[in-house]
Amino acid sequence: MFARAVKAAASQGAKNFSTSSQNNVKVAVCGASGGIGQPLSLLLKNSPLVTELSLYDIVHTPGVAADLSHIETQSKVTGYNGPENLEKALKGADIVIIPAGVPRKPGMTRDDLFNTNASIVRDLAAGVAKACPKALIGIISNPVNSTVPIACDTLQKAGVLDPRRVFGVSTLDIVRANTFVGEAAGVDPQKMAVPVIGGHSGVTIIPVLSQTKPAVNFAQDKITALTERIQEAGTEVVKAKAGAGSATLSMAYAGARFALALARAMNGEQNVIECAYVRSDVTEAKYFATPLLLGKNGLEKNLGLPKLNAFEQELLKKAIPELKKNIQKGEDFVKKN
Ligand SMILES: NC(=O)C1=CN([C@@H]2O[C@H](COP(=O)(O)OP(=O)(O)OC[C@H]3O[C@@H](n4cnc5c(N)ncnc54)[C@H](O)[C@@H]3O)[C@@H](O)[C@H]2O)C=CC1
Ligand SMILES: O=C([O-])CC(=O)C(=O)O
């Protein structure tokens, strides 16, 4: 089952950007004026799968919306500025993607963003609970390991949580793994499918290089180096941007890939598979990323843990305590606030 899933996923990265449209799909982007929000909205505007694009931010949204609305694709673009307009922005949304919040600067961990981003994600999730409780939600804002539990518990407090509809977007880890492993193996990265499981920070990112499709055969020191590069790839970009933020363009690509996978599944396409960070009982951690079969209501079937070799089992052992700590921190925040 898992091998078939990974193979199917291999063809999906490219497909996401080219499929023709069927049903109406309204996507709301919260944080639409930011470094990720703008190029992500551009990619969504360029997709025939999206029929309506609602842009929300606390600044600059009218300008971003006016700009995008001149692009010669069919979707309608609207812009909403400020918390008083949040519910209007979200009304009728089928998919809500959240890249709102501050990014890292060199020397910071993703967890250092918690104090600012926790309340941003909580307030946006509360808006979703009121305006579009059935929407599928993709959370990009860091620290994802904690912001997903925050969103879930906020929806739970409002009495509308359906855990199948809430996803932490870890697609950039898969995109990077496909690129780095493809480059090392001499395979077109678009044809590479590397499962990446766990969470979205440092040791919680677990690339499963023993289960790539096509299979690759590297010496252990190469596997260790590739694993560490995938785990630290976000920091690689933060350092290279030298104070000007973190990954935005590759994240916009990854966010669009994930949002359009949700849209394709909503439209009834079969066998749409992506890894994402969700409420899970696959490991001891209450939230965990694994390959997921997507359907009309979001998570249709969790495809579970891929087969792990001894090296990957050690990675999993290191990830679990850190994940549990990050999850607890998010849950405590919602209890206290
Ligand atoms: N999941 C992942 O793989 C990745 C996650 N990220 C995270 O995405 C987030 C955004 O990053 P960037 O776009 O580079 O930051 P940015 O600072 O360029 O943009 C953030 C946007 O959010 C807006 N915003 C702030 N508070 C808001 C609120 N209450 N409601 C709506 N919008 C609000 C800001 O006005 C700004 O336009 C960061 O937390 C970053 O760490 C970044 C890269 C990858
Ligand atoms: O590293 C960061 O802060 C942004 C991020 O999550 C990534 O690029 O994977």
- Of the residues 128, 149, 169, which one is the last residue of a structural domain? 169
225 and 155 share a domain?
Answer: no
Q: Within a domain: residue 234?
A: yes
129 and 176 share a domain?
Answer: no
Residue 115 Cα to ligand 2 midpoint, Å, equals 17
pTM: 0.96
- Our answer on whether the CB atom of 38 is closer than 6 Å to any ligand 1 atom is no
| C-alpha dist (Å) from residue 39 to 43, 120, 199 | 6, 21, 24
149 and 259 share a domain?
Answer: no
Q: Within a domain: residue 294?
A: yes
What integer is the mean pLDDT of 198-219? Answer: 98
Q: Within a domain: residue 7?
A: no
Counting ligand 1 atoms within 8 A of each CB, the residue from 40, 58, 122 with the most, and so the one to mutate, is 58
Q: Quote the crossing angle between the two packed helices 310-336 and 144-157, to the nearest 10°.
A: 40
52 and 96 share a domain?
Answer: yes
Catalytic residues: 200
- This model of the complex carries an ipTM of 0.99
Q: Within a domain: residue 1?
A: no
- Of the residues 169, 199, 227, which one is the last residue of a structural domain? 169
pLDDT digits (tens, 9 = 90+) for 270-284: 999 999 999 999 999
Number of folded domains in the chain?
A: 2
153 and 40 share a domain?
Answer: yes
Q: How far is the C-alpha of 264 from the C-alpha of 103, rounded, in Å? A: 29
Read off the amino acid at residue 64.
V
129 and 185 share a domain?
Answer: no
Residue 21 Cα to ligand 1 midpoint, Å, equals 28
Task: Kindly report the CATH number assigned to the domain that includes residue 137.
Answer: 3.40.50.720
63 and 185 share a domain?
Answer: no
Task: Kindly report the CATH number assigned to the domain that includes residue 235.
Answer: 3.90.110.10
- CA pseudo-torsion sign 269, 272, 276, 279: positive
- The answer to whether 242 is a known ligand-binding residue is no
- For residue 70, how many C-alpha atoms fall within 13 Å in the half-sphere facing its CB? 5
Going by alpha carbons, the residue nearest to atom 3 of ligand 2 is 104
What integer is the mean pLDDT of 182-186? Answer: 98
38 and 161 share a domain?
Answer: yes
Q: Within a domain: residue 62?
A: yes
307 and 176 share a domain?
Answer: yes
- The answer to whether 69 is a known ligand-binding residue is no
- Of the residues 121, 138, 169, which one is the last residue of a structural domain? 169
Domain coverage including residue 77: 25-169
Q: Within a domain: residue 292?
A: yes
What is the pLDDT at residue 203?
98
Q: Phi and psi for 176 in degrees, rounded to 5?
A: -65, -45
Q: Within a domain: residue 298?
A: yes
pLDDT digits (tens, 9 = 90+) for 77-112: 999 999 999 999 999 999 999 999 999 999 999 999
pLDDT digits (tens, 9 = 90+) for 14-43: 445 544 446 899 999 999 999 999 999 999
Residue 259 Cα to ligand 2 midpoint, Å, equals 18
85 and 186 share a domain?
Answer: no
Q: Within a domain: residue 90?
A: yes
CA dihedral 160, 164, 168, 171 (to 10 degrees): -150
110 and 184 share a domain?
Answer: no
Question: What percent of the chain lies above the pLDDT cut of 70?
Answer: 93
129 and 267 share a domain?
Answer: no
